[in-house]
């Protein structure tokens, strides 16, 4: 199974690049960054926080009745991915336009969908509401957003057969005499 965290972050960045600005990039937390082009959107993170209310300690068993097999594994851990969004523009008017695009993005995209799974996007601090130091002559606005309940599975997977062997004995109904035996 591919990394769900990586897949959902890549889907978010691609969607932001197409809907908000092409100059969108992911920056690790507590890393220095340099604005190369304006307007730009820096997505800083993720900061992971486990959703402990969804933690399950028992095993998860999935049964495949068609193939008479099962898969046993632990339930996944669910993590929230928190990101700081920093919009940067050359002037105030350009920043307002970029803020509006970012706000509209989160109004139109309440979830990120990858390979049939959907993860909720949630606004923690709206764009323009997070105070960050700005050491440049560029105009900036920032906010915080979250992708909720991203599943992370462990690698401990056990697979097995539901039925190890099958023997059928065909008997005469009246006499109960064996007619034939089938083995698999």
The two structure tokens encoding residue 182? 């089938």
List % helix, strand, coil for the chain (3-state, nearest 5): 20, 45, 35
Going by their DSSP bridges, the two strands 24-27 and 40-50 should be labelled as: parallel
Q: Which pLDDT belongs to residue 58?
A: 84
pTM for the complete prediction?
0.77
The two structure tokens encoding residue 116? 């049939």
Identify the DSSP state of 52.
G
Q: CA of 54: how far to CAs of 2, 66, 120, 156, in Å?
A: 22, 30, 15, 19
In 10 A of CB 83, how many CB atoms?
A: 23
Say whether 6 sits in a helix, a strand or coil: helix
Q: Which pLDDT belongs to residue 15?
A: 95
What is the rounded CA–CA span in Å between residue 121 and residue 129? 17
State phi, psi for 99 to the nearest 5 degrees: -60, -45
Walk across the sheet containing 69-74 and list its strands: 59-64, 69-74, 157-161
Q: Which pLDDT belongs to residue 164?
A: 65
What is the rounded CA–CA span in Å between residue 85 and residue 144? 6
Q: Which pLDDT belongs to residue 1?
A: 43
**One pLDDT digit (tens) per residue for the chain, 184 residues:** 446 899 999 999 999 999 999 999 999 988 877 788 889 999 999 999 999 888 888 888 888 888 888 999 888 889 999 999 999 999 999 999 999 999 999 999 999 988 888 999 999 999 988 887 777 888 999 999 999 999 888 888 888 887 766 677 778 788 888 777 766 5
Domain boundaries, the chain: 4-183
């Amino acid at each position: 199974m591919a990394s769900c965290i990586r897949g959902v972050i890549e889907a978010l960045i691609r969607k932001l690049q197409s809907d908000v600005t092409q100059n969108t990039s992911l920056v690790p937390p507590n890393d220095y960054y340099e604005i190369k082009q304006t307007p730009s959107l820096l997505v800083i993170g993720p900061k992971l926080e486990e959703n402990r209310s969804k933690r399950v300690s028992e095993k998860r068993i999935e049964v495949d009745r068609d193939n008479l097999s099962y898969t046993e594994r632990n339930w996944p851990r669910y993590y929230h991915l928190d990101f700081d969004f920093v919009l940067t523009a050359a002037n105030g008017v350009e920043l307002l336009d970029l803020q509006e695009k970012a706000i509209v993005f989160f109004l139109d995209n309440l979830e990120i969908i990858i390979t049939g799974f959907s993860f909720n996007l949630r606004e923690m601090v709206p764009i323009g509401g997070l105070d960050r130091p700005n050491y440049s002559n560029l105009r900036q606005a920032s906010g915080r957003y979250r992708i909720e309940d991203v599943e992370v599975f462990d690698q401990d997977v056990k697979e097995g057969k539901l039925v190890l062997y099958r023997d059928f004995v065909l008997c005469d109904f009246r006499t109960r005499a064996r007619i034939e035996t089938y083995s698999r």
